[in-house]
Structure 1
Amino acid sequence: MMGSQLTHEGRVAIITGAARGIGQAIAIKLAAHGAKIVLVDMDKADDTARMLPAESLIITADVSSADDWKRIDQMTMQRFGNTDIVVNNAGIGNQMPIDELDFANWKKTFSVNLDAHFLSAKQFVPQMREHKWGRFVNISSNSIGIVVPGMSHYMASKMGVIGFVRGLANDVADSGITVNAVLPSLTNTRLVQDMPEDVKRATWQGQAIKRFAEPTDIAGAVGFLTSDDASFITGQALPVDGGQYKVS
């Protein structure tokens, strides 16, 4: 690996939802750039770990639990020291029209998709402040700018991510910490692999680029936003969706 590629050398990065898909691709990308990787997921991220340096740390945890975030911090500190980068990628969402949506489903969606981002900030901002450097990248969704029925709970949580990113960015900017959101479109993971081809094509019609996003497309944006090259970018919501998102 050429030295010029090691943009994250010496950094410690926590990626949630890292067992597969977008989280896995982000972990691989940051590791390739020299970061030490902590894989967090409700499922064991063994498949991802096999693609990374042997020193990578796997933690099974519930990101909606404050106690689990404390444990993530403790285990990371024991293995690597202070955390420099947190990528809040873990998320849940299912189509459920408002007539069927119950409060339990609403609360669960928010606990994973938004509360976890708050909990990670509460846990890691203090040590990032101390070292005058930090990166939060929180995965939102471009669904907030397009028409997707039955997703009011999901869209509300993902819009909340953007609001939190913008507010937190203001609170921590004087400490060398940046906070940004990435908004993927429907991405080529196992969740969409069984979709009929005509449904896939219909999805692409609203995009300039006529294909699904690949996990590596999202990982590329995260790699940039967590590097020193993005040190003057904060509080932003970056669609990575082939030109589908409509600004209004």
Structure 2
Amino acid sequence: MKNTHEGRVALVTGAAKGIGQEICIRLAERGATVVLVDLEDPAETASLIGGNPLRLTGDVSNAESWVQFARLTDERYGRADIVVNNAGIYPFAEIDDLTYEIWSKTLRVNLDAHFYSAKSFVPLMRRNQWGRFVNTSSNSIGTPLAGLSHYMAAKMGVIGFVRGLANDLAKDKITVNAILPAITKTPGTSGMPDEMIRTVWEQQAIKRFAEPSDIVGPILFLTSDDATFVTGQAIVADGGMYKVS
């Protein structure tokens, strides 16, 4: 395994399971020191990685949580190089059932958290004039799925934020990109109706459910030195479902 991330400190949100857990494992395999963040203690992920990684619990939709994440990361490692904003929620609700609370919480977790991460971690990255943000959007923004207007609004916002922030931070040698995954086989999607799963597969060129490992490859690239000249981009990893027009 290549040590493409040797010496880097990477913070990953939603680290306890699913795609986040896979990101943590693969970054650690590539030599990164990984900071695990989740609402619940990501103890299982820590045990899979080994080496007593820093485990932080907190709500990513709370700005003060991010202040704490940055402070504790700095105290433990003296640096931060990579932030992968993976945590997200996707409650289904068509407009008649879409409450103000669901709307607000969906945007706080899926969009506001990305802003908070930048405010807290850009200063740490600037010390070494090197940094990588990978923010999770979604291929759903280009699909005809019902009941996700609030989620799509947040995920479109992620792309806008990524493109603007990339301009702000280019002078600091910090890149900012978005990953747009397909609906992926994780604990969070385990309750999806079979009919919805079949609908997803029918629209993909690759006719199978995405695995977490399918999403991690592009993230490993975007957080490496190989992606030095890639910033402000939205990389789709969905088996050929979302067609750009």
Q: TM-score range by the shorter chain?
A: over 0.9
Q: TM-score, normalised by structure 1?
A: 0.96
4+ residue stretches of structure 1 with deviation over 2 A?
191-202
Partner of 1:44: 41
Q: TM-score, normalised by structure 2?
A: 0.97
Candidates 106, 117, 123, aligned match of 1:126: 123
Partner of 1:138: 135
Number of equivalent positions: 245
Determine if contact 1:139/1:181 at 8 Å carries over to the other structure.
Answer: yes
Determine if contact 1:146/1:246 at 8 Å carries over to the other structure.
Answer: no
CA deviation string 1:202-227 (max 9, x = no partner): 32010000011110111111111000
Cα offset, 1:239, TM superposition: 0.6
Candidates 160, 165, 175, aligned match of 2:172: 175
SS at match of 1:116: helix
Cα offset, 1:67, TM superposition: 1.1
CA 1:200–1:181 in structure 2 vs 1: closer, same or farther (change >3 Å)? same
Q: CA RMSD in A?
A: 1.2
Cα offset, 1:66, TM superposition: 1.4
CA 1:115–1:199 in structure 2 vs 1: closer, same or farther (change >3 Å)? closer
**Which structure 1 residue ranges, 5 or more long, are not aligned?**
none
Partner of 1:83: 80
Cα offset, 1:127, TM superposition: 2.1
> Within 2, Cα distance between the matches of 1:87 and 1:191?
18
SS at match of 1:100: coil
Partner of 1:113: 110
Partner of 2:200: 203
Cα offset, 1:95, TM superposition: 0.9
Cα offset, 1:174, TM superposition: 1.0
> Within 1, Cα distance between the matches of 2:110 and 2:187?
19
Candidates 149, 155, 169, aligned match of 1:152: 149
> Within 1, Cα distance between the matches of 2:190 and 2:162?
31
Identity of aligned residues (%): 59
Candidates 26, 29, 49, aligned match of 1:29: 26
- The answer to which of 198-207 and 167-176 deviates more is 198-207
Determine if contact 1:204/1:210 at 8 Å carries over to the other structure.
Answer: yes
